[in-house]
Amino acid sequence: MTRPNPAVLDHLAARRSYPAKLFTGGTPDRATVERIVTLALRVPDHGKLEPWRLVVLTKADMARLADLAEARACDLGGDAEKIAKGRGQYDAGHLAVAVISSPKPAEKVPAVEQLLSAGALCMNLLHAATAAGWDACWLSGWPAHDPVFAARAFGCAPGETVAGIVHIGTAPATEMPDRPRPDLTRVLHWGLE
């Protein structure tokens, strides 16, 4: 027997990502963030390994991360564009949750499934935040994928990676236009032939 949930289907059909750089600064309080994260943690987690950890980033944390990104870009001989891209989301950020993929040794749960669980957690954060009335955007950027930056910024140990940084805030009241969506006939195949 099916049990449709039209409200959830409507939410999924209307979901948009607003660029985090457009967020105006209104952010959820600690209790709201904790509620959003609690809901997001209802994620596929094979073997109950919890192969991820989360770091809530405040405006003060964002300023520190922007400086770390700039320093790392300079270490790498980066030009002004690389520095600007590295600083960008952190300079503009007000509040975000960094999802760190932290795979655990598990014979029956491949590392890729643990990484996908972290990605699912990022998506759940987006849905929980927007369902709670906030705007959200999943970003990463080159610094998040740089192991030196990730270690300095988030304490990533070897084997840990940043799955995503989910910004949560308030976008302007104007409706974000929908982007073109994939052509179902191109990406969906029925059967193996």
User: What structural domains and CATH numbers belong to the chain?
Assistant: 16-173 (3.40.109.10)
Residue 19 binned pLDDT confidence (cut-offs 50, 70, 90): confident
Q: CA 188 to CA 12: how far, in whole Å?
A: 19
Q: What are the tens digits of pLDDT across the range 38-75?
A: 999 999 877 789 999 999 999 999 999 999 999 999 99
pTM for this prediction: 0.92
Is 134 within any annotated ligand binding site?
Answer: no
pLDDT at 1 over 90: no
CA 162 vs. chain centroid, Å, equals 9
Is 188 within any annotated ligand binding site?
Answer: no
Q: CA 109 to CA 160: how far, in whole Å?
A: 16
Is 30 within any annotated ligand binding site?
Answer: no
Cα pseudo-dihedral 12, 13, 17, 18, rounded to 10: -120
> In Å, how far are 74, 82, 150 from 173, measured between CA atoms?
37, 31, 34
Q: Using the structure block, give the residue that is written with the tokens 């994260």.
A: 37
- The three-state secondary structure class of 119 is helix
How many other C-beta atoms are found inside a 10 Å radius of the C-beta of residue 133? 9
Q: CA 167 to CA 129: how far, in whole Å?
A: 9
Is 101 within any annotated ligand binding site?
Answer: no
Q: Which two tokens stand for residue 51?
A: 């192969």
Is 16 within any annotated ligand binding site?
Answer: yes
Is 42 within any annotated ligand binding site?
Answer: yes
Q: What are the tens digits of pLDDT across the range 75-123?
A: 999 899 999 999 998 999 999 999 999 999 888 889 899 999 999 999 9
